[in-house]
Amino acid sequence: MTAAALFIILFLCMFMGMPIAIALGFSSVVTIYFFSGDSIASMGLKFIDNLTEHYTLLAIPFFVLSSSFLSTGGVAKRLIRFAVACVGHIRGGLAMASVLACMLFAAVSGSSPATVAAIGSIVIIGMVKTGYPEKFAAGVISNAGTLGILIPPSIVMLVYASATEVSAARMFMAGFIPGIMMGLLLMLAIYVYARIKGLPAQERATLKEFLSSGFSASGGILLIVIILGAIYGGIASPTEAAAVSAVYAFLIAVVGYRDMGPLKGVPWKIAGESVVGSIARNLRISIISIPKAVFSSDVQKVVLDGAKVSFVLLFIIANAMLFAHVLTTERIPHMLSEAITGMGLPAWGFLIVMNLLLLAAGNFMEPSAILLIMAPILFPIAMQYGIDPIHLGIIMVVNMEIGMITPPVGLNLFVTAGITGRDILWVVRAAVPWLGILLFFLILITYIPQISLFLPEYIDHLRGYR
């Protein structure tokens, strides 16, 4: 009775157009008040505790802030230039470079919509001018942007780690190989399509351009090394690495690339200036500019935008955890676990049911909310089937990827629609042909666990755990 009331109220609220975060919280409170013996006071305490008990969630505002600095600055343009220098000479190379740029930007942002916005706003127009169909360009970017939640560091992985209390560092390790594999699959599909349709290729980059673009993009690429190196090397936790990434992103945007703040437009080298004089001048003005940059209007705008995104995410997470608390209090996951295991399904059958359930949920809800609701239900069942919790996490994240490009609430679709100026139905038609690749990839990830588990197990072996 309680479970039925909880889900009926939730779906009624969603169909009436209520924001998902409020719908989750409202359905939880109403269910507790009318159908449960728990107290409303405990709900208020749980709402606050949800955000203070989970240390891993503290990484989310830092990663969001880091992503805001890098999205606003010129990191995306430099990564795209480097990607074009790497693969632009291949037929369909500009589209392949877009995927490579999405992979690189995903590794510094941790956000799928941010990846689509930062990369797509530049490359979609560039591809159309070069002779690519606009629908092809929009479809490629919508799908490649989903790598933002698979390639570490990933905000969605942090949410899963908080919901199930597995290691966020191991989740990041597990997402590395699948992320690269997904990117390569998209690039292979682009190459085949380009050969069939005769899409153009760019001129091969000279060695000078390759080195120059690599050096220009090194500020952003170095962040990947800092974050993942610190986490994989056991130097810092994901939360500590996220805090460092926010400071680094601020410094690289303000002092390194000088895309914002008081040094915006100030050249590193002045004609006729000696090397020693240039170093001394830049060192002096950089030290002076950092305190000024904190109070500059463009930096404050970036921080405010990052704070807004963080607040929305954490508000959704807090309400989703409240919903999950009601589920747990009413023993709903336990009852569902007994029902599913009582059906006598084999492990592969359970995985099919789980994927179908997650794919359906991805059409209507935001990834973080889905994970916080479904993980407490599916996690104990998966443990009974002997499924590795890290492998389970990657399966769920890939399902969330697909949810980012399926209507009616696929966030990547709306971002792409905003970039192209097209309506959402046009973007859906552009993205659907590429959906088959993600579904094929989901099958591979689901039934070949070592794709996800090889790297964390290998690093554990190097550390002497095994």
Integer CA distances (angstroms), 431 to 123, 144, 219, 424, in order: 16, 10, 32, 10
pLDDT in tens, 277-313: 887 888 888 888 888 888 788 888 888 988 888 888 8
Q: What CA–CA distance (Å, rounded) separates 438 from 143?
A: 8
Return the pLDDT at 296: 83
pLDDT in tens, 384-394: 889 999 999 99
Q: In Å, how far from its chain's centre is CA 297? A: 28
Instruction: List, as one string, the DSSP characters of 221-241.
Output: HHHHHHHHHHHHTTSS-HHHH
Q: How many C-beta atoms surround the C-beta of residue 289 within 10 A? A: 19
* Residue 359 amino acid letter: L
pLDDT in tens, 318-372: 788 778 777 777 777 777 777 777 777 888 999 998 999 899 888 877 888 888 8
Q: How many C-beta atoms surround the C-beta of residue 54 within 10 A? A: 18
pLDDT in tens, 117-130: 888 888 888 888 88
Return the pLDDT at 446: 95
Counted residue by residue, the chain has a size of 466
Q: What CA–CA distance (Å, rounded) separates 215 from 204?
A: 18
Q: In Å, how far from its chain's centre is CA 344? A: 35
Return the pLDDT at 49: 65
Q: Give the predicted TM-score (pTM) of the model.
A: 0.85
pLDDT band at residue 99 using 50, 70 and 90 as cut-offs: very high
Q: How many C-beta atoms surround the C-beta of residue 222 within 10 A? A: 15
Mean pLDDT on 407-428: 85
Q: Is 291 exposed, middle or buried (0-12, 13-18, 19+ CB in 10 A)?
A: exposed
Return the pLDDT at 211: 92
Q: Which residue has the higher pLDDT, 363 or 38?
A: 363
* Angle between helix 450-462 and helix 389-403 axes, rounded to 10 deg: 130
Integer CA distances (angstroms), 20 to 25, 90, 237, 359, in order: 9, 44, 31, 17
Q: In Å, how far from its chain's centre is CA 21? A: 19
Return the pLDDT at 440: 94
Q: Do residues 6 and 326 lie in contact, with contact meaning Cβ atoms separated by under 8 Å?
A: yes
Cβ neighbours of residue 254 closer than 8 Å, sequence gap 6 or more = 260, 261, 263, 289, 290, 293, 299
Q: Which residue has the higher pLDDT, 337 or 220?
A: 220
Residue 42 has pLDDT above 80, yes or no: no
Return the pLDDT at 234: 78
Would you kindly state where each structural domain of the chain is located, as residue ranges? 40-55+311-462, 57-301
SS3 18: coil
